[in-house]
Amino acid sequence: MALFQISYPSKVLRREALLSVCLPNVRFKDAAKEVYDWKKKFAVLYLLHGAGGNHLDWIRYSCVERLADEYQVAVVMPAADLGFYTDMKYGSPYFTYVAEELPRYMEKVFPISDNPRERFAAGLSMGGYGAMKLGLTYPERFAAVASMSGVLDVKGLMREEELAREIELDQVLGWCYGNLAGAKTQENDLCSLLERAAERRAKLPRLFQCVGTEDFLYEINQTFLNKAKELKIDLVYEEEPGIHEWDYWEKKLPRVFEWMFSERKG
């Protein structure tokens, strides 16, 4: 496994962008001419962290390196602070960064495919929101997206009063969206993006959603699931006992890889 820690001057963010990148190891069964073929490109998973996390979280707390090897895919893990993978009202344009600049940079610098059928996104909590937002906003650019314990209804967070007070949610949403109304606009609200896709009869990427039944975001996840059912949008949904913590996400990440990449397993 080749593991890169990268800092580069981002034109979109107007500062240094931080990210981790995993490239899979060479497999012994591969012939030398395949290993050193400069035309060889890897499928890529953009794996997004949650609120309060950074580009190191998945490396530190999960088996992502082993999975990248096992399925022979590159994994890109950008830092997005508390930006909700959104073009913030008072902050950085994180959505433009992860949707536009980051893929172009990765495909230029690393042996990563630019084929939409080989581009994937997944994330936990805030990152689950970001992954779904990418796939629903630009369905033609992704083969599949997955959310683990995702904040799939941002406005619904305000119903979690204890959490809202603890993390000063109104302030965070103010930075990101200006106010709660900003979180409800079509470009930011995932249920609205589902409705738009249904109206346009858009061909969506494959969708995967999972959440623990004891997670404080469980009801928020039901809102998104029910909207998908109402619109007859295909979605793989899984739930099992679990709370909003790394024990759950570490167990679910292999399942996400299996669902996304089963045909690629080495």
Strands 2-10 and 43-48: unpaired
pLDDT of residue 185: 78
CB crowding 124-155: b at 16 or more within 10 Å, else e: bbbbbbbbbbbbbbebebbbbbbbbbbbbbbb
Tell me the residue length of the chain: 266
The whole-angstrom separation of Cα 193 and Cα 248 is 27
pLDDT digits (tens, 9 = 90+) for 222-237: 999 999 999 999 999 9
CB neighbours of residue 232 within 10 Å: 7
pLDDT of residue 85: 96
**Residue 81, exposed/middle/buried by CB under 10 A (0-12, 13-18, 19+)?**
middle
* 240 conformational bin, left if phi > 0, alpha if psi -120 to 50, beta if neither: beta
Count CA atoms within 13 Å of residue 5 on its CB side.
Answer: 7
Residue 265: the pLDDT is 65
Helix axes 190-200, 126-137, angle to 10 degrees: 20
What pLDDT score was predicted for residue 187? 87
The answer to whether 64 and 74 are in contact (CB under 8 A) is no
Question: Over the stretch 21-39, which tens digit does the pLDDT of each residue have?
Answer: 999 987 666 655 565 577 8
What pLDDT score does 58 carry?
A: 99
Buried b (16+ CB within 10 A) or exposed e, 174-201: bbbbeeeebbeeeebbbbebbbebbeee
Alpha-carbon span 204 to 24, nearest angstrom: 28
Which pLDDT score, from 0 to 100, does residue 18 have?
98
Q: What is the Cα–Cα distance from 58 to 250, expressed in whole angstroms? A: 9
Looking at domain 2-154+190-264, its CATH class is alpha beta
Alpha carbons 38 and 106: distance in angstroms, whole number: 15
For residues 131-138, give the mean pLDDT. 98
145 and 135 Cβ atoms separated by less than 8 Å: yes
The mean pLDDT value for 91-103 works out to: 98
Nearest to 156 by CA among 239, 217, 208: 217
Mean of the per-residue pLDDT values of the chain: 91
Q: Helix or strand or coil: residue 165?
A: helix
For the segment 141-197, what is each residue's pLDDT rounded down to a tens digit? 999 999 999 999 987 876 665 565 655 677 777 778 886 666 677 788 999 999 999
